[in-house]
Amino acid sequence: MKIGIIAKPNILEPLEITKDLSAWLNERDIEVFVEKDLGDQIGHSNSVDRADIPELVDIILVFGGDGTFLGMARLTCKHGTPILGINLGGLGFLTEVTVDELYPMMERIIDGNYEVEERQMLLTTIHREKNTIGTYEVLNDVVINKGAVARIIDLGIYIENSHVTTYRADGIILSTPTGSTAYSLSAGGPIVHPRIPVTIITPICPHTLTNRPLVVSSDMKVEIKVTTHEPDTYLTLDGQIGIRLNTGDIIEVKRADSTVKLIKSPYRDFFAILKAKLMWGERYGKID
């Protein structure tokens, strides 16, 4: 077995964890590859570029938060390499294993006693004046919104080539079920179990209050036409890639052929994480 290790940059905690874990894995005849920035800091013999790790290993360990996991997911999806997310802070929706659970989890992985769940991705294509200027795969969400100036933008929504509505809003979010607990949730979108094959369309502060979130089959093609003339309109992918849009641009979103393979925690399920993150059932104050 070969294992790759990725970590959130510029923090100290993964350094000692990676050194100790690498030694522990080597004792069990498991080859370890570490991303170059992290590997160079600890003097690891198998330090390689982050982008090369997915094709070199059988499993990838990601230390950090959900943001670190999202970046690695986009690199990994083409290779089908399973990812285990280890959270260095509180629990995450993607990094659902804690540092204290790391070694028991690694024992299970070595024994082959673990479960992999495939997560849907969205394929996003930008069309401008009959040309395709970019294609991206995302795990969480596709967001179109305005810049710093507080102006409403106009976005035409088409599903399966049928015009649905034109949102006048601060923006719009198209998310996977995995992304339903991220920005979409903050904007009033529904929580969707990650195994349900849908795409969630959530307007951000719509001017018309009847414009509510919409859930459609992930098999449906959704297109957003930028009809606004506001100059600072942006497309953001997984909160990590930003592209400036022009009037008339069409953003096509549909289910990607690729998926992300996530190694599930045996210690808690989606609902347990949901309760922990949202603090369901807890009382926030004492009534005298």
Give me the CATH number covering residue 243: 2.60.200.30
pLDDT at 288 over 60: no
Residues facing 35 on adjacent strands? 48
Start-to-end Cα distance in the chain? 59
Q: Report the catalytic residues.
A: 66
More confident residue, 217 or 95: 217
217 and 110 within one domain: no
- Per-position b or e across 240-274, b if 16+ CB within 10 A of its CB: eeebebeeebbbbbbbbebbbbbbbbeebebeebe
125 and 111 within one domain: no
Task: Assess contact for 105 and 129: CB atoms under 8 A.
Answer: no
271 and 213 within one domain: no
Please tell me the pTM assigned to this model.
0.90
Q: For 223-247, how does the pLDDT look when each residue is reduced to its tens digit (9 = 90+)?
A: 999 998 878 899 999 999 999 999 9
Q: What is residue 149's predicted lDDT score, i.e. its pLDDT?
A: 64
172 and 147 within one domain: yes
130 and 107 within one domain: no
Q: How is residue 128 written in tokens?
A: 């401008």
Q: What is the 3-state secondary structure (H, E, C) of 97-139?
A: EEHHHHHHHHHHHHCCCCCEEEEEEEEEEEEECCEEEEEEEEC
* CA gap 259, 79 in Å, rounded: 10
56 and 12 within one domain: yes
Containing domain of residue 77, as a range?
Answer: 2-115+264-278
184 and 85 within one domain: no
pLDDT at 115 over 80: yes
Our count of domains for the chain comes to 2
pLDDT at 287 over 70: no
**What is the domain-level CATH number for residue 99?**
3.40.50.10330
Q: For 146-169, how does the pLDDT look when each residue is reduced to its tens digit (9 = 90+)?
A: 876 667 899 999 999 999 999 999
Task: Assess contact for 180 and 168: CB atoms under 8 A.
Answer: no
Where do the DSSP E strands lie in 31-110? Answer: 31-35, 47-48, 59-64, 83-87, 97-98
9 is a domain residue = yes
Q: How is residue 206 written in tokens?
A: 């719509």
206 and 96 within one domain: no
Q: What is residue 162's predicted lDDT score, i.e. its pLDDT?
A: 96
96 is a domain residue = yes
* CA gap 209, 106 in Å, rounded: 49
